Amino acid sequence: MIERLLPIAGSEHASALDAVLYSVHVHMAVQAIAWGAFLVYCLIRFRAGKHPQPSAAGASPLLPVLAIGLVIVADAVLLASAALPAWYQRTSLPSSVAEPLDVRVIAEQFAWNIHYPGPDGRFGLTRDALIGPSNPLGIDRGAANASDDIGILNILTVPLGRAVIVHLTSRDVVHSFTLNEMRVKQDAVPGLTARTWFTPTVAGRWEIACSQLCGLGHYRMRGDFAVMPLAQWDEWQQSELALIDRSIRR
């Protein structure tokens, strides 16, 4: 039932995070049933009909101590076997990943500015003075490595099966970059650059969401997110470069 409530698992690490979520739900369900059963036992065992006179000594504390001890042990096992390994795997990019796609995402009220390095894989210089409707990232086309950079508003398009590293920051307030299908959620903090990564395993079109209340226009803080086969992604990149070339010639 939990699987039906979750978005599709679209990245390599999604199953590990989902396993932690399932384990937590099972753990809490077992606790709820156990404590509920203990409550019913107490209501029957210490009912007024069986104990007309109150006892100052009370019940033995052994049972609740054992119950709390079991909860602590179960929590420790859950952390050691599922939660901490899943977290550790997300703290650094595996060395086995070759040629990842680096993407810069700059959040602002209320949009996601996406910066692709282009075919050369190198980001060019950006300048705030150049930021405008047709250049939301302020890419300096005359700078080294910048002629093939792609700057787009609210559109994140990545190739299937290739690791994607997102370098994330914010221009104004704290936002939260969220790709639910990829199981990615990372705060964008002004003045800091955070890094998150994922390897998409399912092609499709979804949404970039913001999980942080970032102002009165928070409802507009959304973008388009697409995963497509490599050949199709190459065609998309070439079409964007052609648009850039035509705009420069004008």
Q: What is the DSSP letter of 4?
A: H
Residues ≥6 apart with Cβ < 8 Å to 150: 114, 115, 116, 118, 237, 240, 241, 244
The overall pTM is greater than 0.95: no
Adjacent-strand bridge partners of 104: 115, 167
Please compute the mean of the pLDDT values over residues 55-77 and round it to a whole number.
80
pLDDT at 41 over 60: yes
Q: How do strand 155-159 and strand 223-228 relate by DSSP bridges?
A: parallel
- pLDDT, tens digit, 9 for 90 and up, residues 114-126: 999 988 888 988 8
pLDDT score of 58: 64
Residues 6+ apart with CB under 8 A from 143: 124, 125
> What pLDDT sits at residue 170?
94
Mean pLDDT of 213-234: 92
